[in-house]
Amino acid sequence: MMESIAHVVLWLFVINLGIAFGAGLYEGRIVVPQWLSRSGGSGYRWNAEAARDANVGLRFWAFVTTVPLTLLTLASLVVVWWTPEVVRPWWSGAIAAALVDRAMTFAYFIPTMLRLMKDEASARSEAVAKARQWVNLGYIRHAATLAAWLASLKAFSLLGR
């Protein structure tokens, strides 16, 4: 019974990480350029209104990663011990990478985006600098998600052995 639960949790973890990675790439290539654009002469421009209108945090990410991936990561911390020894190092590595992603998300990405979307009296150059940092740190988060996804796929491939 416990082993079956572990299999289901790992399978859901793999699926969710794959969706999160693909959606993160989509957001970075398609959605973010609508918020942070670059023109030849004037440099970068942050469009807080476009970010507020898109509101991807509540319209998409809350249902894909904020709640489900966080819960699956925490569940994985428990059920990883119910799997064969050969699976544990890979699943544990996936959990560690997912925890990095989750920590970055809750400690930096969500609060920073909420501040960027507000109509604050901050200088445009300050908003652009924060938005560019948000984008650049996103590459680290994408790498953590990719590492978690690949390690979880490897763990899943070893379950039947």
User: What's the full length of the chain, in residues?
Assistant: 161
Residue 122 has pLDDT above 70, yes or no: no
Predicted local confidence at residue 123, as pLDDT: 63
Cβ distance 111 to 105 under 8 Å? no
Predicted local confidence at residue 72, as pLDDT: 98
Residue 7 has pLDDT above 70, yes or no: yes
Reported as a single tens digit per residue, the pLDDT across 133-145 is 999 999 999 999 9
* pLDDT band (50, 70, 90) for residue 1: confident
**DSSP state, residue 39:** E
pTM score of the predicted model: 0.92
Reported as a single tens digit per residue, the pLDDT across 43-86 is 888 999 999 999 999 899 999 999 999 999 999 999 999 999 99
- Give the tokens for residue 112: 């920073």
Question: Mind giving me the DSSP string for 42-90?
Answer: TEEEE-HHHHHHH-HIIIIIIIIIITHHHHHHHHHHHHGGGS-TTTHHH
Cβ distance 117 to 56 under 8 Å? no
Residue 121 has pLDDT above 60, yes or no: no
| Average predicted confidence (pLDDT) for the chain | 93
AA identity, residue 82: W
Residue 160 has pLDDT above 80, yes or no: no
Q: Which of 104, 116, 114 is nearest to 141 (CA)?
A: 104
Element (H, E) at 6: helix 2-26
Predicted local confidence at residue 80, as pLDDT: 96
Q: Which of 82, 90, 100 is nearest to 145 (CA)?
A: 100
